[in-house]
Amino acid sequence: MTSLVMSFIGRDKPGLVGLLSTTIAEHGGNWLESGMSRLGGQFAGVLIIQVPEERQPELINALQALEQQGLRVSVEKSAEDESHAGNRSVTLDLIGHDKPGIVREISQALAGMQVNVHKMQTELTSGSMSGEQLFKAHAEIWVPSPVDLDELQDKLESIASDLMVDITLN
């Protein structure tokens, strides 16, 4: 069996998940994991598929042929999972006033401390009292053992004076 990582995007409409799942099943694939979301009128996602080695080319061709139905697909063979021994799994929650470049600044701060983002979701919401846009992020990160979590929190909070950071060791 071969594992494939597939990403897709297309104009949101009913039946896209059904179209993908049917195509995968008809070509011997097994849908393992996924993350999907509607963003800006588009429906996008990433998933992992397992397929017998000999059926991999036909499945990839069938998935790429979905472009005729308005679904852009990219498929890559899964890379071997790197060992994350010595890393701690940490949940990171951030909230603060939105400003241009905040994701860049946060990601640079994390990378500067050798922290790897495993999963991340962000959103803008309206502040309950002020009505100002608030930036929220929820991430699962892998933090190397030598990194002090208090130092990581301080570094992230220094990005913006109103940025509140909650770090939870899992």
Same fold, 2-77 and 87-169: yes
Domain residue limits, the chain: 2-77, 87-169
For position 81, what pLDDT does the model report?
Answer: 63
pLDDT digits (tens, 9 = 90+) for 35-94: 999 999 999 999 999 999 999 999 999 999 999 999 999 999 988 666 667 789 999 888
Give the tens place of pLDDT for each residue, 4-32.
Answer: 999 999 999 999 999 999 999 999 999 99
Rounded CA separation 56/82 (Å)? 23
d(CA 122, CA 139): 9
pLDDT confidence bin for 125, thresholds 50/70/90: confident
Superfamily of domain 87-169, CATH level 4: ACT domain (3.30.70.260)
C-alpha–C-alpha distance, residues 81 and 103, integer Å: 26
pTM: 0.76
- CA gap 168, 170 in Å, rounded: 6
Architecture per CATH, domain 2-77, reads as: 2-Layer Sandwich (3.30)
